[in-house]
């Protein structure tokens, strides 16, 4: 049993502390379905107790990450309820050994629950400083001015307000539109994607609005986490529904 599990605390070392996104990066190779709300839920249940910065952000030590691994493993491989897992952790904290457990039923292959390379919550939270001129965007995306003009006409690409430059999202959209054009899909056909995206954005903003109105120090951070997580989940759901529909067809 990992020694880091016992007590769940390490000596103070800010350089060794991880934010919640870094924790997800460590856990996802073994637990592809782990999410920020899941970690928050386990924290609410008292199974982990990460430190908080003055602004409300969570900071995880090695012991917190190992406890998370233990909890997730007991759930996935042994189907133990959280109450029992909590008793195991309490025993470890007191220097005892929890009772041995064995898998009770066959487990679902990890590949069945893999995210198939879909965007993660971190990809939605990530920001870059890429700024491209119109000429650079056309050249790098390997499109012509006519296609870019059409994409702008139908609201699929918009330059940054006040600068006229284009960002990473514009580059990805332009390249994707070019590849779809090879199948005969023109920008006017892509308006449905724009409309669907706007509806999803509206839904996310509606869900997160109460979090943004919070007055405590961590309200903004929780709202940003929720936006990224919901966005990633909505993309996963949308992609899986499309895949399932094509299989039926």
At 69-102, the pLDDT tens digits run: 999 999 888 888 899 999 999 988 888 888 877 6
- What is the pTM assigned to this prediction? 0.59
Say which CATH topology domain 125-248 has.
Answer: Multidrug-efflux Transporter Regulator; Chain: A; Domain 2 (1.10.1660)
How would you classify residue 88: left for phi > 0, otherwise alpha for psi between -120 and 50, otherwise beta? Answer: alpha
Are 24 and 36 a contacting pair, CB within 8 Å?
yes
Strand duo 51-52 + 58-59: pairing: antiparallel
Q: Which residues pair with 166 in a beta bridge?
A: 132
Specify the pLDDT at position 159. Answer: 93
Q: Round the average pLDDT of the chain to a whole number and report it.
A: 85
Specify the pLDDT at position 217. Answer: 79
* pLDDT tens per residue, range 42-69: 999 999 999 998 888 899 999 999 999 9
Question: Poorest-confidence range of 10-19, 86-95, 240-249?
Answer: 10-19
* pLDDT tens per residue, range 96-144: 888 877 655 555 565 655 667 777 777 777 777 789 999 999 999 999 9
Structural domain spans, the chain: 3-113, 125-248
* pLDDT tens per residue, range 139-155: 999 999 999 999 999 99
* pLDDT tens per residue, range 162-207: 888 999 999 999 999 999 999 999 999 999 999 999 999 999 999 9
List, in order, residues 6 or more apart from 165 with CB less than 8 Å away. 131, 132, 133, 159
CATH number of the structural domain 3-113: 1.10.1660.10
Decide if 3-113 and 125-248 have a common fold: yes
Cα–Cα distance between 176 and 187 in angstroms, integer? 11
Specify the pLDDT at position 11. Answer: 46
Per-residue pLDDT band at 12 (split at 50, 70, 90): very low
């Amino acid at each position: 049993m990992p020694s880091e599990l016992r007590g769940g605390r390490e000596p103070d070392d800010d350089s060794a502390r991880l934010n919640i996104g870094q924790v997800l990066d460590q856990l996802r190779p073994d637990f592809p379905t782990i999410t920020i709300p899941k970690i928050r839920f386990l924290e609410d249940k008292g199974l982990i107790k990460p430190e908080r910065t003055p602004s409300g952000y969570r900071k995880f030590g090695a012991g917190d990450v190992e406890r998370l691994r233990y909890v997730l493993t007991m759930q996935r491989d042994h189907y133990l309820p959280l109450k029992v897992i909590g008793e195991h952790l309490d025993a470890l904290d007191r220097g005892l050994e929890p009772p041995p457990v064995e898998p009770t039923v066959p487990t679902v292959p990890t590949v069945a629950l893999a995210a198939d390379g879909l965007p993660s919550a971190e990809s939605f939270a990530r920001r870059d400083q890429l700024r491209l001129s119109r000429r650079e965007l056309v050249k790098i995306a390997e499109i012509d001015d006519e296609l870019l003009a059409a994409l702008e006409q139908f609201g699929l690409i918009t330059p940054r307000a006040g600068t006229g430059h284009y960002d990473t999202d514009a580059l990805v959209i332009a390249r994707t539109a070019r590849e779809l054009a090879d199948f005969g899909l023109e920008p006017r056909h892509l308006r449905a994607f724009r409309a669907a995206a706007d509806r999803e954005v509206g839904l996310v903003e509606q869900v997160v609005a109460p979090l943004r109105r919070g007055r405590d120090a961590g309200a903004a951070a929780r709202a940003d986490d929720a936006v990224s997580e919901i966005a990633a989940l909505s993309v996963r759901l949308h992609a899986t529904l499309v895949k399932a529909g094509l299989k039926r067809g």
